[in-house]
Each structure stands twice: as C-alpha cells, then as structure tokens.
Structure 1
Amino acid sequence: MSTRRHRLPANAQLPANTQVVHAFDTGWFATLLTMTASTLPNPAPAVPAADVPAAARSRGVGRLLRGAPTDPPWARPGLLVLLVATAVLYLWGLGASGWANAFYSAAAQAGGQSWKALFYGSSDPANAITVDKTPAALWIMGLSVRLFGLNSWSILVPQALQGVAAVGLLHATVRRWFGPGAALVSGAVLALTPVAVLMFRFNNPDALLVLLLVAGAYCLVRAVETASTRWLVLAAALVGFGFLAKMLQALLVVPAFAGVYLLAAPTRLRRRLGQLALAALALVVAAGWWVAVVELVPAEDRPFIGGSQGNSILELTLGYNGFGRLTGDEVGGLGNLNFDVGWARLFDNDMGAQISWLLPAALVLGGFGGWVHRRGPRTDRGRAAFLLWGGWLLVTGVVFSYMNGIVHAYYTVALAPAVAALVGMGAAVAWRLREQVGAVVLFVTAAITAVWAFLLLGRTADWLPWLRVVVLVSGLFAALMLLTLGHLASRAGQVVGALGVVAALAAPTAYALVTAATPHTGAIPSAGPSTRGGGGPGRLVIITGPGGGPQGGAGRQPGAVQGGPGQDGGQSRPGRGRGDGTWFPGGGTGEAGPVQGGPGGLLDAVTPSAELVELLRSGAESYTWAAAVVGSNSAAGYQLGANVPVMAVGGFNGTDPAPTLERFQEYVRAGKIHYFIGGAGFSARGTESGGSDAAQRIAEWVAATFTASTVDGTTVYDLTSE
C-alpha cells in the first residue's frame, strides 16, 4: 500500500486572521490558547489532507520535540517546558513514599530476585502465590530493581517516567489534528489532574495502563489519517498489552477506538471491516499470550493465581477482576465499600476531588466540538477526534459510576486523558469561533469550572480557605472577559485567554502540588490535602483476624491507609473489633477515616522492628520461606523489611485457598517454613462471599500446635519445634 505525502506550496500564505505570538511576549500560559487558523481543522467540512498541519504529517514521535516548519515559535519551547515541569512534579521528593503500595513493591522485589517470579507476578521469590492482577506493570518495576537494586526510587521512578511519556504522547496525539496550542492545553490538564499526579508517583498498575491507552489513541489517530493497517494493528496491540497491566479495564476504550475507525477511516467499508478483524486478532494475541501460557503450565509448576478460588487466570479475569467488579458478586472479595452507585459518583466525596475539576468543562467543550463537526463528511477528522475521546470518557465514566463491586477513587486516572483531550480540543474550536458562538461557550465553561472548583475546595474548607475565593473571583472575571473576545484586540484577547486557562487550572494545580508534597502509602491512596475530622469518603472498612482484632492480639489498630480530602489524614485513633472478624478503625462504626500504627492489616503493610528482622534473617537460607503470614500486605511488609521470602497465606484478602491446610502442613513437615507470624489480616466478608477459610484454619492449627512467643510486640510461632 502506498501513501501519498502532501506538502504545503512553498508560496503558501497564512490566512489573514492567523495570530502568532512569541512565548516570551505574553508568557507561557498566553500561548496555550493562541490558536492559528493554519493549525486547526475546519469545523464543518472534512479537513483535506493538504490542510493538515505539518506536525501531523511528520513521521513518528521522533519529531515530537523538533516541531514542524509551520509551527509558531513558542510551540517547541512550550512543549519542553510542559515535559520538564511534569517530570519535576512527578519526580520531586518521590522517595518520601517509601514502598508506596507494599503489595506491588514486594512483587517487584521478588521479580528482581527470581525470573519465574517476574514472569508470573509472584508475591515472593519462592513463588507461593501471585498478585491478583496480570503482571505487566511488575515487569517494569522488577527489571528496574534488577538494574538499580531494591529501593523506593527504583520502584517509583518508572511510574513517574510513564506519566511524563503519557503527557508527551497526549500532546502529540492532539497536536496532529488540532495544533500545538490545543496540545499544550491538553498536556497541561493531564499533567495537573490530581489523580494523575497521585498515580504517576505511585506503584499501582494504573500508570502503565494509562500510558498504553494513550499510546493506543496516538496510533489510532495515525491509522485514521491514511487507513493504515499497520497503525491500527499497533493500536490494538497496545490496548491488548494494557490488559496485561490491569485486565478488562483496558478494554473499556475498545468501543470508541473501533467505532471511530469504522466511521472515519478513508477507505471502503469492506476494507475497514477486514482491518478491524486483524486488529481484533492483534488485541487477543497481545492480551492472551500470557494467559495461555499460565493456563497451559501445570499448576504444580507455577505459583497459585492470587485472587482466584480455582487457581485459574481465566477465573480471575472474568470473576474477581471482571464481571464481579460490575455486579458485586466477587467470590472472596469485599464487595462495594462505597455505597454510592450512580451517575453522581464521579462528582462525590470519593472521586470528585480526584478527577472532576475539569470534567464539566470537558463535557461542555466536547459537546460543542462534536456539534460544530456534526455535518462533516464521514471522514471528518474533527468529528472523529471528539468521538474518540468522548467515547472513551463516556464508556469508562459510566462503568465507574455504576460498578457494584470493589471500586476505588484512584481508578479515575483512566478518565484523565479523555478529559484533558476534550478540554484542549474543545477550547481550540471555541477559540477559533470566538467572534461567533465560541465566546459564549468559553464564558459558560469558565463560569462552570470556577463555581465547581469553589464547591470542591469547600470540601476541605480548612485547607487554604482563601484559595476558593480567589479561584471563584478570578474564574468568574475571566468568564465575563471571555464574552468580549470578539471585540478585543489580538493581544488583549490572548491575555484574557491566558487568564481563563490560569483560573481553570488554579484549583487542580493546588491539589496536584499538595499531592506531590504528601507521601502516600498503603493500598488506597488519595490525592489532595489530608485534613482532620469527618467520616472521610468511602466509609472505609478494614478487615483483619477473628475476635475483632488481629489474630492472637487484643484489637490493635491495622496499618495505615493514606488519607484524602475529608479524611482523618492518617492520624492514629483508637479502634475496636466487632467480634465477628470485621475490624473498624475509629471506634467500630465503620464511618471513620483511616488510622496509622499497629501490626499491619488487610490494606497496609507493617514495618518490622530490627529485632524481628534479625529473627527472620537468622538461618533463612535453610528454608524456602523464612516466614508465613496471613494476607499479602502483611507478608509484603515483612518481606521488604527483612529481604527474605515470606509466604502470603490466603493472598490479598486472606480468602484464597493457597495453600490449603493440608498443603501448609506438608510444607511444615518438610521444613520449608521457619516461622508463622500472628496478628495478620483476613476477610470475614470475603469468606461470606464464597472465599476460602483456609487461612483461618491454618492460623488456628498453628496456634493450637506450636508455642507462641512475642518479639517486640509481635506474636511469632517457630514451626520447626512443636
């Protein structure tokens, strides 16, 4: 297949209304809304190939930083500032978060010591059980640990760099069809979204997922331009590989991707259908090769698949991490702890401060952009772009809003690229039409954004109380000024546009900065300031051992979970058990924010004392596992602290049948496990939902068979002496 390249004539003249502003004349923010008619697609008819910006005709991302001959002089400096500022924001003080999510850090540690553990995503280097996700994100962290040693930087820096790459790729994607101004706005919005700052400074799989999906969108845009089979297959393969990062969540963008290509690719229908069939095959291969290997390898030759009840990756994919997340019927899971299912979930106390700052703006500007391009021909690129990102936002947003299973606020980072792209593209279209209806659209957008930011900031009223007033006043002032755009001189209009951008980004930027300045640890991180008081979003429930407290203990607090807006902010508070295996922090009501301290629990890891570390390391080379403990997070804390293999009995929730009591007894008789550590967590709710009680039975058998000793407040059983 040949591809014809189009070039602008050498004597081409820019339209009379073209505005080119030097970055140092009006400041960097002034450039963000400086749109040129030569770098925007026509709003109604399709954009002829010859009218596409030169940046769109460049080959690959390699020219991303070099720019194009027709770019305004501020385009390349603006991009460099964006990428450098993003890198600083995501990397500064990164080591303060320590192991961040110790559950994944321990798996990265295991992968750094064992290639088998790296491939399967095992929680420990002796390969007892895997994490409850596919392992692509662990491959990157594990390889980094192998190269640079085990420390918080080797685990977290790859996440930050993935964030910088995602911002750069989103910029490149938007720039192809909407020019450098829209691209800078989109990149800045993504970089400063609070939940994006949180997750690109954390070691959950979401960072890699977002990068792969944005890369897939870039490839899809390239495919639509020339009906390229190669680019379409690559887009599908990237989405498929995203499945290996976070399973079925990656597939939420597939309807938008496939629909846009089927609609807008400039080739006949029969060929488009054939290309989509090839893309579907590429997606299945990219997502399924690892699944096939795991299913074909005999169970005795690989670790147990964490999160499943039948040691099956297919069960994990379709059950606990699949349809169970939608229906709430998660065997062995905790179910929905938020109780806020519905369309308003993205704006509520849990998710609102993470993602919704510019969500109303994205809906308004995205809808306006789609309306402007509604009558274009089938191949109209502007309409295709708004359908692509709008479809991404709609499908993912609806799923997150109506999930009945486990859902956490940080999942919303998957919405951030779509929100950012719609804001950038929609602002570009409105700016181009500012002498017509565009000024009204910008006014409405700025006003809604200012009011919503004022309300969101009110949820943390004790934190920078002056900020909400400044944001409201400046935003409404900018909105009023945007109404006059059609009557302002060029330079004055640019200043007003810059003010609108600054006002819109002020509140999320403040949240982004405080998020970057706050260390985050535990299984459920949250962006924004930590404040005292209130029940905190989400009605967090932490589950540990029987009798209300950790096994063998007297109701000590579980480990820390990083606080968020409206939460207790990690302040230690007394708690009590309920007597049925459910542990509520903060007095047992189930309504309080998270707490710190104690021996670790279901949602956080413990930091073992020096005395306990020395005990675990003594003679560890003579055992397959230096210790066993119920729950993956508890095991992770001991494994990271002592740097010895620790078996996570029962997996993450303590409700996986791994190992069974009989198998555990075989390990003990064979001298493969040295110690059993009491006081760890398991989920009573998980067993009620069909999960295994093997971990509870193991703990009871150990307590009845071996003599307990106390090491610095921790209950330890020596399994080598009865």
Structure 2
Amino acid sequence: MASVTHHPPLAVPRPAGPEPRAAAGGKNRDHVRGAGLILLGICALAGVLYTWAIGASDFGNAYYSAAIRSMTESLPNFLFGAADPYGVVNAAKPPMALWPQAVFASVFGFHSWALMLPQVIEGVATVVLLHRTVRLWAGERVALVAALILALTPVTVMVNRSNNTDTLLVLLLVAAAYAFTRAVHSDAARSQVRWLLLCAFLIGCGFTTKLMAAWVIVPGLALVYLVCVDGPVRRRVNHLLAAGGVLAVSSLWWPVLLDVWPGRKPYMGASLDGTALDNIIGYNGFGKIFNLGQQYGGSGLHVQLGAVGMGGGYPDVTRMFVLEVGGQISWLLPFSLLVLAVVGAAGYRRLWFRVPGNRLQRAGWLLWSTWLVVTILVFSFTEGIWHPYYTTALAPPIAAISAAGLSLLWRTYRTGRGRGWLLLPASVALTGAWAVVLIDRDPSWQGWTKWVVIAATLVSVVGLVLGSRSSAQRRTVGRSAFLLGVVAMLFTPAVWSVVSAAEHKTNGGFPSAGPPNEALNALTRGELPAGAVIPGFEHVEPAPPRAGGFAGAVLHEENRKVLEYAERNSDGAAITLAVEGGGLAASSFIIDSDAMLVSMGGYLGADAAPSVDQLRRWVDDGALRYVLTAAPGEKRMGGIAGMGGEEQRERVEWVQDNCAPVDPAVYGGAPITPAEDMLPLPGYGDAMLYRCG
C-alpha cells in the first residue's frame, strides 16, 4: 500500500517545561505577555457588550426575576427556587442559575443590575475558559480567535445581558470541556481520572442548572475518552463508570432533596404531580424532545407561542437556519460544518492508508464536533417548546471549530499542495454568501453591512486566488487576503452584537439580537398602537390590553389599584392576593411590590399549584381573601387564564362559583374588555378581582 506523509491539521502545543534562556526566553515572555493583553482586550470587549446600559433591561426575564425576589424571602424559598413569595410553586427548574442572582440581590438590593451582574461575570469567565481549553488543544493564536468569536456571537451577547439560566449552563459546559481536555492531555492515570471526575461534577452542576440540557455533551465525551486516552481499555471503562457515578450524584442530589423533603416545599413547576422526577422525565426532559402537550395550541398550553416571542421554528433539519434562529447563531455554522467535513475526510484518509494520527488533535476535534452535531440534532428535532436563545449552547463549539478551521485552511493554503488551497477561498465565499442571505431577511436593520461583506469577501477571494501562484505571494498577498476574509466573516455578527447591546432597551424573557420585535415589546408595555402587526395575527386589528401589558416587570396602574384594594381589605390574611395565569401574570406584582403573593399555576397557569382543594383550605382558614382571575363567561383563548389546561380551568371555575366579583369601579379600575375585542394572547383584558370568604 502506498505511503503518505502525515501533516497534522494543527500544531500541538508542547508540554510546559523550563523557560528557554537568553534571547529565546525574552521572546517567549513577550509572546506570552502580548497574548495576555489580547485576551484581556477580548474580555473587556465582552464585558462592555454584556453591561452596556444593563440597568435599563427591565429585570430581563421577569418570571425569573420574580422568582429571585421570592427566593430572598426565606431559606426554603431560596433552596428550592420558589417562584412566588408564599412558596407555592417552583420556577420549573432547579435553582442553581438563580442562586448567584439571589445572593447579589440580597447583598446589593433588588435592582435590575444586581441580577444581571452575575450573568456578566459568568459570561466573561466563559470566554476565558474557552480560551484556556482551546489553547491546550490548538495553541495560543487559535485560542484567541475562538475567544473573540464567542465574545461576538449575537445570541450569546444578548443571553448574557439577561438573567436566563443559559449563561451559567454554558459556563459549566465549557468548564467541563476544559477539565475533560486536561484529562485527555494527562499522562498519569491518577491525573486523568481526577480531571474526568471534575468534568462529570461540572456537568452535574449543569443539570442542576437546566436539567437534561447539560447531558447533551455526555455521549460525545464518553466516546472521546474511550478512543483517545492512553491506557488499557478496562481502565478507561472503569474511569468512565466512576465519572458516571459522580455525574449521577451531582445531577440528582437536588431533585431527590426536593422530592423527599418532609416539610413545606414548593410544588415542582411544569410537573404533573409536583415532583422533580416527573419534571425531569416529562416537561424538561423527554417532554421537550417528543412534545408532551407543549406545541402550538397543545393540550397543556393554550396560546400561540410565536405571537408572544416564544416560537423557534418547526422541528426539522433546517431549524438552525430559519428566520427566527439564523441571525442569532448560524453566521459561522456553514463554515464550521465545512471544516468538520474536511477534517472527517482527512481522518478517513488516514485510516484508509493506515497513517498514525495525533490522538490529542483527534480528541479535540471529536470533543467539539460531537458537542456541535449532537446539540444541533437535539435542537433541530425538539418537538416541544423550544426558544431560539437556547442556541447560545452552540456558540462554544462553533467558536472553537471555526478558529481551528481557519488555522487548518490557512496552513493548507500556505503549503500549496494539490488543490487543497481552494478550500480557503471557497469557505470565505460560502460564509460571505450566507451572511448576505441573513442580512437580506430584514434589510431595514443594519442592511448596509451587506455591501461591506460583499466587497470584503470579493477582494479576499480574488486576493487568495491571485496569491496562490507562488509561495512568496501566499506570504504577502495571500496573508492579507486571508485576514480580510476573516474580517468579512465576523463583520456582520459583530455589528449585530454591538448594535443590539446598545439599542435594545429591554431584553425581556426571550433574548435575541437583530431587529427587535416592536409589536411584542409594545404589547408587553401596554402601548400597542392601532394598526400594529403581531406575528400570527397579521390580518387582525388588535385592541390595546386594558391593564397595560403582560409579563413585564412594571406593575401598571390598573393592577396596582387591584393590589392596593386587596391590601386594604384582606383582614390580615396571610396571602394578600393570589394571581391566576402563573408567573407570566404575577411577575409584575411580585417584582414591584412587597406584598405576600401567590402565583397560581406555575409559569403559564397549567400546574396544579395550588389545587382547588388547597384554595378551599386557604379560604376556609382565612389565609386568602382575594383572587385575580378571569371574569365570568365562556372559556377564552388568551387573557389572564387562557394559557393553561384543565387544572387552571378548575381553579377558575371554583373561584367564579365560590367567590364574589369586585366591581372595578369600587377601586377605580377600568371596565372589563369585551370578549369579542380580545386577541387569543396573554393579557389582563378579562382580569377580575374576586372576594373569597
């Protein structure tokens, strides 16, 4: 069989050793110092993007912000992540991502910036850890480029400006990747297993942050450890079994604690029986993948999700490239997939010709490629509720693969062997063309960047072609064209990140870069103008919601009147007001007041918390006097109580049958909006206050 010369795709950093002497030592110190300054600059850029005007964010995700305020009320609320001050229901996830925010709120006071500051710290730490991880695998220059790409990823910038759980999840997964890379690079078995166990622990912390979303990278890591680590197979299997034990304990301690807790505790949100186990298996586990009553108009959630900013396209192989998702994450996704195809073909060729490869290089490519591909597959075919901002979990592998791919293709181009040099100009052209497609989807927003991308891409491609004629031209013309091509690839996502961070006054519960959803923002603020177009209702003339919006952090005047009336007349009841519609309806009451409130029904009102029996006991015991729920009449889609399922309907009917409605004129409120004037959207238009007992 013919022999071939093996050229590793990337240079593997040499193990650390004694510093070279004399001139070499000085040059090495200067190189390290220069790289450190560049990394510091990238981190500063990320920090500015994450913090610019962050105090104007209106508490980001109001649902989580309300939970954070509730968690500061008591230790059980903090431990179990209660979504309301009375501790009736949990925020539908383990609370690890909310704990730092609750601590900061306790120390600095309950302010928007206090909740966002931990997110900023976590986001910048992720950039640093990604740099350290990629540096172990591919060297300093590649690591710096990877850090820059991550810092400029639009969806990541906007997620890190919010208080969603994904910021901590991504930090923990990148930290796990760092620990795993250290394990693969270790020569001693004891060091390997220590780093592997740390990796498993960090993924378990990710599970305590966002449940099964953290486990997506586990199959790839297990595969890499089996095929890329030196040592007997039996030892590798034993190491993986030990890591599996650590993963199980670090993942499941909180769900088990909640389920076996003997005292008073919140009902686990988004579960059928109040247990964390049901939530893990159902709504936040297999329920997301296989749609257990979570789709548009599904049996559990009665609301058009796309109309309230919760849509993420439909499950198929193109989902990462569709209108709602493409501009958030996919700028470099085609390039990353091209790079993986090239690396995969090269690996197959090595196997065919039995040429030994570099196991550390192979481990790095497998680590990042399995993270990327498996996550794309899970996201693309998830049938339940899926939000575009989840794609921030793709940012680290895209950054690592893109940076390493640029190095690989530049090295291939520079050597000038065969036709491999064509891959570099082809990849620049592909990425530029995809950027133009994304920009043209809404040219009214930063559409000018298209012409910059087209010009830079054309000049880069022509320069790379002309520079390929000789080694001297590759070093001069080719290098300049290559650098211009990198600028063309990163230009528009960088502009989207900067402008979105500077102009988006509120990030809401569903962070996104690019053109803001003005109709949704106006609806949330209660400022929906006549003739406004809401996605999904283009041919309907909507009326502004009576009570000034929904799901925001500001308690509008109409609802403040309701709360103040309940406070004056509740006769010392333990619960000042119970609000139907879940956290989506109750968030502003919790954030903008000190009252003891109950958020009924979890997030959208679909949970059996409280049950009808619990409501009856509260009323009989004098613990509850006032409930804000739907006005009498037929069942509606939307409104304050039209998002949940049968559990919500039973609560609404019990209140309507057993409590007396309070005329809005008594507390100076506006009349109820007629049913025929309401859209099937969340809102307070049909909200009515009831006196119970």
Q: Shorter-chain TM-score: which interval?
A: 0.7 to 0.9
Equivalent residues of 1:212, 1:239 under 8 A apart: yes
Q: 2:402 aligns with which of 411, 423, 433?
A: 423
**Helix, strand or coil at the partner of 2:524:** coil
Q: Which residue pairs with 2:459 in the alignment?
A: 477
Determine the C-alpha separation between the residues in 2 that align with 1:421 and 1:593: 47
Residues 72, 290 of structure 1: alpha-carbon distance in 2 compared, 3 angstrom cutoff: closer
Q: Which residue pairs with 1:15 in the alignment?
A: none
Q: Which residue pairs with 1:332 in the alignment?
A: 300
Q: Which residue pairs with 1:283 in the alignment?
A: 247
- CA RMSD across the alignment: 3.3
Q: Which residue pairs with 1:551 in the alignment?
A: none
Q: 1:95 aligns with which of 30, 44, 55?
A: 55
Q: Which residue pairs with 1:344 in the alignment?
A: 318
Q: Which residue pairs with 1:398 in the alignment?
A: 377
Q: Which residue pairs with 1:629 in the alignment?
A: 579
Q: Which residue pairs with 1:224 in the alignment?
A: 184
Residues 224, 665 of structure 1: alpha-carbon distance in 2 compared, 3 angstrom cutoff: same
1:427-506 equivalences in 2 (<5 Å): 427-434=406-413, 435-436=415-416, 439-483=421-465, 484=467, 486-488=471-473, 490=475, 492-506=477-491
**Helix, strand or coil at the partner of 1:628:** strand
Q: Which residue pairs with 1:694 in the alignment?
A: 650
Residues 623, 159 of structure 1: alpha-carbon distance in 2 compared, 3 angstrom cutoff: farther
**2:491 counterpart of 1:559:** no
**Helix, strand or coil at the partner of 1:136:** coil
**2:30 counterpart of 1:52:** no
Equivalent residues of 1:46, 1:377 under 8 A apart: no
Equivalent residues of 1:625, 1:646 under 8 A apart: yes
Determine the C-alpha separation between the residues in 2 that align with 1:496 and 1:593: 52
**Helix, strand or coil at the partner of 1:461:** coil
Equivalent residues of 1:650, 1:694 under 8 A apart: no
Equivalent residues of 1:327, 1:405 under 8 A apart: yes
- Larger RCO, structure (CA 8 Å, separation 6 or more): 2
Residues 653, 698 of structure 1: alpha-carbon distance in 2 compared, 3 angstrom cutoff: farther
Determine the C-alpha separation between the residues in 1 that align with 2:543 and 2:410: 48
Equivalent residues of 2:561, 2:667 under 8 A apart: no
Q: Which residue pairs with 1:599 in the alignment?
A: 547
Equivalent residues of 2:432, 2:457 under 8 A apart: yes
1:560-709 equivalences in 2 (<5 Å): 572-573=529-530, 586=534, 589=537, 598-599=546-547, 604=552, 607-609=555-557, 611=561, 614-615=564-565, 622-630=572-580, 631-678=582-629, 681=639, 684=642, 686-687=644-645, 692-701=648-657, 704=660, 709=666
Determine the C-alpha separation between the residues in 2 that align with 1:229 and 1:98: 45
Equivalent residues of 2:445, 2:514 under 8 A apart: no
Determine the C-alpha separation between the residues in 1 that align with 2:9 and 2:474: 29
Q: Which residue pairs with 2:497 in the alignment?
A: 512
CA offset digits 1:375-434 (Å, max 9, x no partner): 364761112111111111111101111111111111111111111110011112222222
Which TM-score applies when normalising by structure 1? 0.80
The offset of 1:185, in angstroms, is 1.2
Q: Which residue pairs with 2:268 in the alignment?
A: 305
Gaps of 5+ in 2: 1-5, 20-26, 294-298, 631-637, 671-683
Determine the C-alpha separation between the residues in 1 that align with 2:17 and 2:278: 43
Determine the C-alpha separation between the residues in 1 that align with 2:641 and 2:364: 45
The offset of 1:524, in angstroms, is 2.6
Equivalent residues of 1:627, 1:675 under 8 A apart: yes
The offset of 1:626, in angstroms, is 2.0
**Helix, strand or coil at the partner of 2:72:** helix
**Helix, strand or coil at the partner of 2:324:** coil
Q: Which residue pairs with 1:360 in the alignment?
A: 334
Determine the C-alpha separation between the residues in 2 that align with 1:648 and 1:142: 19
Q: Which residue pairs with 1:208 in the alignment?
A: 168
Equivalent residues of 1:373, 1:382 under 8 A apart: no
**Helix, strand or coil at the partner of 1:520:** coil
Determine the C-alpha separation between the residues in 1 that align with 2:537 and 2:487: 42
**2:384 counterpart of 1:384:** no
Determine the C-alpha separation between the residues in 2 that align with 1:302 and 1:612: 28
Equivalent residues of 1:522, 1:560 under 8 A apart: no
- Bigger CA drift: 441-450 or 696-705? 696-705
Determine the C-alpha separation between the residues in 1 that align with 2:271 and 2:218: 26
**2:260 counterpart of 1:296:** yes
Residues 385, 431 of structure 1: alpha-carbon distance in 2 compared, 3 angstrom cutoff: same
- Bigger CA drift: 496-505 or 119-128? 496-505
Q: Which amino acid counterpart does residue 121 of structure 1 have in structure 2?
A: G
**Helix, strand or coil at the partner of 2:203:** helix
The offset of 1:308, in angstroms, is 1.1
**2:513 counterpart of 1:523:** no
Q: 2:73 aligns with which of 86, 94, 113?
A: 113
Equivalent residues of 1:94, 1:153 under 8 A apart: yes
The offset of 1:43, in angstroms, is 4.4
CA offset digits 1:183-212 (Å, max 9, x no partner): 111111111111101110011111111111
Q: How many aligned residue pairs are there?
A: 629
Equivalent residues of 1:586, 1:593 under 8 A apart: no
The offset of 1:162, in angstroms, is 0.9
Determine the C-alpha separation between the residues in 2 that align with 1:316 and 1:622: 35
**2:691 counterpart of 1:719:** yes
Gaps of 5+ in 1: 1-41, 59-66, 534-539, 543-556, 562-569, 576-584
Query: What's the % identity of the aligned pairs?
Result: 33
**Helix, strand or coil at the partner of 1:488:** helix
Q: Which residue pairs with 1:133 in the alignment?
A: 93
Q: Which amino acid counterpart does residue 511 of structure 2 have in structure 1?
A: P
Q: Which residue pairs with 1:4 in the alignment?
A: none
Q: Which residue pairs with 1:17 in the alignment?
A: none
Equivalent residues of 2:67, 2:81 under 8 A apart: yes
The offset of 1:641, in angstroms, is 0.8
Determine the C-alpha separation between the residues in 1 that align with 2:523 and 2:451: 39
CA offset digits 1:237-289 (Å, max 9, x no partner): 11111011111111111111111111111221111000000111111111101
The offset of 1:623, in angstroms, is 3.8
**Helix, strand or coil at the partner of 1:589:** coil
Residues 366, 702 of structure 1: alpha-carbon distance in 2 compared, 3 angstrom cutoff: farther
Equivalent residues of 2:291, 2:383 under 8 A apart: yes
> Which protein has the bigger helix share?
2
Q: Which amino acid counterpart does residue 514 of structure 1 have in structure 2?
A: V
**Helix, strand or coil at the partner of 2:323:** coil
Q: Which residue pairs with 2:3 in the alignment?
A: none
Determine the C-alpha separation between the residues in 1 that align with 2:204 and 2:442: 39
- Bigger CA drift: 616-625 or 160-169? 616-625
Residues 593, 283 of structure 1: alpha-carbon distance in 2 compared, 3 angstrom cutoff: farther
**Helix, strand or coil at the partner of 1:75:** helix
**Helix, strand or coil at the partner of 1:643:** coil
Q: Which residue pairs with 1:408 in the alignment?
A: 387
Determine the C-alpha separation between the residues in 2 that align with 1:150 and 1:280: 39
The offset of 1:370, in angstroms, is 4.0
CA offset digits 1:109-130 (Å, max 9, x no partner): 1122222111101012321111
